[in-house]
């Protein structure tokens, strides 16, 4: 139970490092500041281990320690890592300028999402309107099947891959109207295949309309998508199709050629 994930007795596996990383992973949106005890509880590791790991992480600048409460928080190093990530991902460099233009042109929130296993992750976000916090910061992972970007990406994959995803990938209710019926999702993805874009409502947030287009690679498959979020209060289907869709597709298509074959 406690160290259930220790896994491989492999000689190429450095357990101490893995444990340290697991301490980093213990932080999340609901728990972003912890005491030693809380960390110990969350990770299932004993107090001594946490003490040593935390000490090391702190010493190396990966955890900040509140001088009075002694509680631990993510440090600026966590942002520096994101900075490095951006330089390593060729898609970001190719897409960002175009996304900025699009965001400016539409005046609405534009996101760049990449597939990450069975989730999508928001790699770049350009918020234009106030929205809830989680929707304006990068690095958020969401079940791919529930997002317009995920469905747009999937729509470019083979029938078999799509089907496997639809059957097995995780779903979670974020709103009372999040689609949990896989048949319904299948139908929507089929439409997406035909249309070349995905549009969804109320999936992550009520009264949110999301529309996404895949960024298609040289092999015809997408692993990323451009997505736009708008409010259902001010946008109806027809207007989204007319005023957002064309530019969104243009942008996504204009990024495709920059992907190396």
Partner DNA sequence: GTTTCATGTATCGCAATGCAATACGATAAA
Partner DNA sequence: TTTATCGTATTGCATTGCGATACATGAAAC
Token pair belonging to 223: 């692993």
Cα(125)–Cα(47) distance, integer angstroms:
38
Among 106, 126, 212, 255, binds a copy of itself (CB under 8 A): 126
12 binds DNA (CB under 7 A): yes
Token pair belonging to 241: 């199709």
Among 5, 7, 14, 21, binds DNA (CB under 7 A): 14
What b/e string do you get for 71-99 counting C-beta neighbours within 10 Å, with b at 16 or more? ebeebeeeeeeeeeeeeebebbebbbebb
Q: Which residues pair with 222 in a beta bridge?
A: 216
Q: Rank residues 76 and 187 by Cβ distance to a copy of itself and give the closer one.
A: 76
Q: Count Cβ atoms within 10 A of the Cβ of residue 174 and give its class: 0-12 exposed, 13-18 middle, 19 or more buried.
A: middle
Binding mask 73-102 for a copy of itself (x = CB under 8 A): xxxx-xxxxxxxxxxxx--xx--xx--xx-
47 binds a copy of itself (CB under 8 A): no
Q: Rank residues 81 and 164 by Cβ distance to a copy of itself and give the closer one.
A: 81
151 binds a copy of itself (CB under 8 A): no
Which 3 state secondary structure label does DSSP give 213? strand
218 binds a copy of itself (CB under 8 A): no
Is residue 222 within 8 Å of 153, Cβ to Cβ?
yes
**Angle at the Cα of 173 from the Cα atoms of 172 and 174, rounded to 5 degrees:** 110
13 binds DNA (CB under 7 A): yes
162 binding partner (options a copy of itself, DNA, none; Cβ < 5 to 8 Å by kind):
none
Q: Which stretch binds DNA (CB under 7 A): 10-18, 187-195, 221-229, 231-239?
A: 10-18
Which 3 state secondary structure label does DSSP give 235? coil
Instruction: Determine the straight-line distance between the first and last CA of the chain, rounded to whole angstroms.
Output: 45
Token pair belonging to 100: 């900025």
Q: Rank residues 26 and 145 by Cβ distance to a copy of itself and give the closer one.
A: 26
153 binds a copy of itself (CB under 8 A): no
Q: Closest separation between CB of residue 56 and DNA, Å?
A: 9
Among 44, 118, 127, 178, binds a copy of itself (CB under 8 A): 127
52 binds DNA (CB under 7 A): yes
Cα(168)–Cα(144) distance, integer angstroms:
11
**DSSP string covering 81-103:** HHHHHHHH-HHHHHHHHHHHHHH
**Angle at the Cα of 148 from the Cα atoms of 229 and 30, rounded to 5 degrees:** 75
Q: Please give the residue ranges that form the binding site for a copy of itself (CB under 8 A).
A: 7-8, 10-14, 16-22, 24, 27-29, 32-33, 51-53, 55-57, 59-60, 62, 73-76, 78-89, 92-93, 96-97, 100-101, 104, 107, 114, 116, 121, 123, 126-130, 133, 136-141
Q: Please give the residue ranges that form the binding site for DNA (CB under 7 A).
A: 3, 11-17, 19, 35-37, 45-49, 51-53, 70-71
């Amino acid at each position: 139970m406690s160290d259930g994930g220790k896994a491989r007795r492999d000689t190429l596996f450095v357990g101490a490092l893995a444990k340290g990383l697991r301490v980093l992973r213990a932080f999340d949106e609901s728990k972003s500041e912890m005491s030693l005890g809380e960390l110990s509880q969350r990770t299932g590791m004993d107090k001594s281990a946490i003490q040593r790991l935390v000490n090391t992480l702190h010493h190396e600048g990966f955890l900040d320690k509140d001088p009075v409460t002694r509680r631990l928080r993510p440090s600026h190093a966590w942002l520096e890592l994101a900075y490095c990530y951006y330089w390593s991902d060729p898609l970001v460099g190719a897409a960002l300028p175009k996304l900025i233009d699009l965001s400016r042109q539409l005046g609405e929130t534009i996101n760049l999402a990449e597939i990450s296993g069975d989730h999508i992750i928001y790699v770049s976000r350009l918020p234009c309107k106030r929205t809830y916090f989680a929707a304006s910061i990068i690095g958020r992972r969401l079940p791919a099947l529930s997002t317009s970007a995920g469905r747009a990406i999937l729509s470019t994959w083979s029938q078999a891959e799509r089907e496997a995803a639809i059957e097995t990938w995780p779903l979670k209710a974020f709103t009372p109207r999040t689609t949990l019926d896989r048949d319904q999702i299948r139908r929507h993805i089929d439409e997406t295949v035909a249309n070349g874009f995905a549009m969804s409502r109320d999936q992550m947030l009520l009264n949110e309309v999301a529309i996404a287009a895949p960024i298609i690679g040289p092999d015809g498959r997408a692993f990323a998508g451009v997505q736009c979020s708008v409010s259902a209060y001010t946008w109806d289907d027809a207007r989204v199709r007319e005023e957002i869709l064309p530019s969104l597709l243009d942008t996504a298509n204009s990024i495709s050629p920059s992907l190396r074959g």
